[in-house]
Structure 1
Amino acid sequence: LFTGSLWAAAALTLLLKAGAVPLPDSSGEEELVDELSRNLLTRSPLLQDCVSLAWLLHSSAICEKFAVCESSMEMLASNNLNLPKIKEEDGCLLSGFNEEKCLRRISSGLFTFQTYLEYVQETFISEKQKVESIYYGTKHLANTMRQMVKNPDAVSTPDSPSQNTLFAKLKTNKKWIEKITIHLILRDFTSFMEKTVRAIRYLKNSRNPSV
């Protein structure tokens, strides 16, 4: 069985092979996988790794890459899924940036998204490998961000009964709304990752202004 770090390394490899957008300023996909894998396997929660993994997840989850991303008012009006969002009060915007609050919100949101991504993985069969990679990458990034919080126990995470209830609720969806549900999950996950990438980059630059 893979450990969490090995799963993350495997997920990165799968994401890149699946056609993920290369990272800016990267010297190549193989070098990126090698560098991230080394850091992940040594359990070094470097901010650069977080930036790279967050951007990779964002690039791979951009919903326009999937066939489920048609837009319609009906689809956008059907969002009653309570998907995680990063709001102004979460302290992740450049104006009013609050490192501790932001780290807690990002890690908590990523933990919450795991159940939704698990549903997409089981439902969106044609893209199962890609979504599986995103799922494990998200899980690793959530744990890494949680370790960076001063008080990791303060990070809100869904308990198993809540996750099971949510998953069961999602699975009761009729076939005709499965596509809408997948669209909404991927759309909001993409938005969440865009803000996560910006927040982590800002945090990295504020800690290492000369880099």
Structure 2
Amino acid sequence: MPSTLNRYLLLAALLQGILGAPADVAPTENLAGDPSGEEGELTSDLLSASGIWERILSLTDNHPKEFEAEFQNQVKYHMLEDYNISSLPESCSYYNLSKEACLQKLARGLFIYKALLKHVEKEYPSNSKILDARLNCGRLIALIKENMKHPERVTELTSTKEEQLLKEINSPYTFQRRMTAHSILFELRNFLLKGKRAIKKKEKAKGSMEH
């Protein structure tokens, strides 16, 4: 009998250890830095982590090759750096703007690029990526406004303002119109990359302060 009782006690202790194991796992997960899944959710909700940035940027992934192929190397891609269009907006900087001001600047700029992409689409109607980029600009604007304290301060261009904007960059010369279209794509890429980098730094700085 004692030996049988001991076996039962040993078995009970083993079962208790097994069943109690999940409760002992939690401290290990805490040490890993993700106690309840909240940190993982926060990371996935970060504006800079959204895939929409890349969806727009994919329009310009092969832009240098496409540009030089179109102009048969008679015009070099780097020349777009000096092809200035006054209506193109500047991106936000990490250093001289608050996060809210940066978000507002990005949203306003994207509204302008969303309109300017209509010029690009008109010059290259067979490129379906341009329409996708325009639609994703709208989605990114919506996402940016979700992260703003005062989203009502940024509004879409009126039809009159958009028409004026497109009229200003129009030209009777094909070469001029095409160079303008390529300049829009060139600057859009820079605008997005710089803006995303600034937002990522601000989000990282905020995360560091919270910890």
1:101 corresponds to 2:106:
no
Matches of 1:174 and 1:165, distance apart in 2: 19
Residue 15 of structure 2 corresponds to none
Q: Aligned pair count?
A: 161
Confirm or deny that 1:185 pairs with 2:190.
Answer: no
Matched, 1:122 2:122: yes
Which AA in structure 1 matches 2:45? L
Is contact 1:111-1:158 (8 Å) kept?
yes
Report which stretch shifted further, 53-62 or 157-166. Answer: 53-62
**Identity over aligned residues, as a percent?**
19
For 2:85, the aligned partner's letter is N
Deviations 1:44-72 (A, max 9, x none): x9325754211332243243253368437
Query: What stretches of structure 1 of length at least 5 have no aligned partner?
Result: 1-44
Which residue of structure 2 aligns with residue 57 of structure 1?
56
Contact in 2 for aligned 1:121/1:131 (Cα 8 Å): yes
Matched, 1:82 2:87: yes
> What are the superposed Cα offsets for residues 79-113 of structure 1, whole Å, 9 maximum, x if unpaired?
23420112xxx4x32x3451111000011100111
Verify the 8 A CA contact 1:84 1:112 in the aligned structure 2: yes
**Aligned 8 A contact 1:85 1:109 in 2:** yes
- Per-residue CA deviation, residues 23-62 of structure 1 (Å, 9 max, x unaligned), is xxxxxxxxxxxxxxxxxxxxxx932575421133224324
Q: Distance in 1 between matches of 2:47 and 2:164?
A: 36
Change (3 A) 1:164 1:75: same
Structure 2 CA distance for partners of 1:146 and 1:83, relative to 1, 3 Å = same
Paired residues for 1:169-180 under 5 Å: 169-180=168-179
SS of residue matched to 2:88: coil
The structure with the largest alpha-carbon Rg is: 2
Q: Which amino acid aligns with 2:135?
A: Y
Q: Partner residue of 2:202?
A: 203
| Cα distance change on mapping 1:71 and 1:65 into 2, 3 Å | closer
In structure 1, C-alpha distance between the alignment counterparts of 2:46 and 2:113, rounded to whole Å: 21
Tell me if structure 2 keeps the 8 A contact 1:111–1:157.
yes
Q: In structure 1, give the amino acid aligned to 2:157.
A: P
Kept after mapping to 2: 8 A contact 1:85/1:192: yes
Alignment-derived partner of residue 66 in structure 1: 66
Q: Do 1:61 and 1:190's aligned partners in 2 also have CA atoms closer than 8 Å? A: yes
Contact 2:99 2:199 in 1 (8 A): no
**C-alpha separation between the residues in 1 aligned to 2:122 and 2:163?**
14
Unaligned runs of 5+ in 2: 1-43
**Aligned partners of 1:141 and 1:66: how far apart in 2?**
25
Q: Write the distance in 1 (CA, Å) between the matches of 2:88 and 2:113.
A: 7
- When residues 133 and 150 of structure 1 are mapped into structure 2, their CA distance, relative to the original with a 3 A threshold, is same
Partner SS for 1:64: helix
CA change 1:66–1:207 in 2 (3 A) is farther
Q: Secondary structure at the match of 2:55?
A: helix
Q: How far apart, in 1, do the equivalents of 2:132 and 2:169 lie?
A: 21
CA distance in structure 2 between the partners assigned to 1:81 and 1:98 by the alignment: 25
Secondary structure of the 2:51 match is helix
